Amino acid sequence: MTDTILNTDNQVNPQANGHTLPRGKKTKVKKEIPDKSRRAPKREIDGIFLLDKPSGISSALALTRVRGIYRAIKGGHTGTLDPLASGLLPICLGQAAKFSSYFFEGSKKYIATGKLGIATSTGDAEGEVIATSPVTNEIERIDEAINSFIGEITQVPPMYSAIKVNGRPLYKYARAGHDVEVPSRVVQIIYIKLLDKTQDTFTIEVYCSKGTYIRTLVEDIGNYLGCGAHVTALRRIEVDGLPKGTMHTLESIQVLADKREDFTDFTELDALLIPIDKVMAYLPCIEIPEEKAKLLTMGQRQKVDEACTFTNCNVNYESTVQIRTNGMFIGVGHLQKGVLISDRMMSDPLHANKGLYK
């Protein structure tokens, strides 16, 4: 990228390397690139980065910044957080995206603050106010309200959400002003802890199943109290199946990138990534010989025999298993009548196809 410098006087322009430029003469000066990692070539890198997403940016923008710092060719995120929300956002680099549906199925923990007396179009502070109600002593019944939502409940997701109806996200219908029937869903609220309260606010910790909308939960609590409510702050703090207490901020990895003498050295940054096989280790395992593994990675089903070994499962196990050969994770699959069928595999992990499927 360059900046054009317009010199209007016949005097030395410090940005022109000490040379005198004629009046009106334009010269192009290279602009310094502060992020050294942007000069490194893009690369294939696999792993999961646990980002502590700040409030105020979209999950998509957060992904773009992480990919840029890591110079990753491929990347995606799972478990979208609204711009208002902060906290745990798993960034899946390289082949990790293939397996995100397996390691993000666990229950989740959030901390949310709700404000009573105001309902908004989005269920949070970013939406337009659509209803107000005076708040008197409703907060005295907050424990009663919270307890009424513990267990299995039915939710209707908010219109401003990524849930798809007829292949289109609900938020696109909402922005276009189109009405659409939103299907309800059954979710599990494992517990709700009241952390703090004032006359018109409450802060709760929620442990819930995948698919739970905290905005909807806070709205429902407000409706139970008869005054409405919306979310003013939301933070995801844990996901079952992912390591706890290992989130990193955008600022911290930018510091690591900027301090390098060799901008192609990603040693410290890569050390923050969680290997794919580590997050998949919770699954029951079948270990197969390398010859079977090569054929399986090419899509050929393999009969299970005495050369195969099982951990926490057996030949009659019907759910998903992780597949390994010589201890190396190569993918996931399932068993059917004594035959191992691949469901999602690493790209040519044994180099049997010389990288054709990379």
In the beta sheet, which residues pair with residue 344?
332
User: Running DSSP on this structure, what letter comes out for residue 72?
Assistant: B
The question of whether 265 is a catalytic residue gets the answer no
**3-state DSSP assignment of residue 24:** coil
Buried b (16+ CB within 10 A) or exposed e, 56-80: eeebeebbebbbbbbbbebbbbbee
Residue 250: count other Cβ atoms within 10 Å of its Cβ.
17
DSSP strand pairing (321-325 vs 285-287):
parallel
Buried b (16+ CB within 10 A) or exposed e, 218-235: bbbbbebbebbbbbbbbb
DSSP strand pairing (321-325 vs 229-239):
unpaired
- In sequence order, which residues have a C-beta less than 8 Å from that of residue 120 and are 6 or more positions away? 126, 127, 128, 129, 130, 230
CA dihedral of residues 338, 343, 346, 348 (deg, nearest 10): 70
- CA gap 4, 7 in Å, rounded: 10
Structure tokens at 84: 């208002």
Amino acid identity at 84: L
- CA gap 260, 277 in Å, rounded: 28
- Active-site residue (options: 52, 82, 124, 220): 82
Positions annotated as catalytic residues are: 82
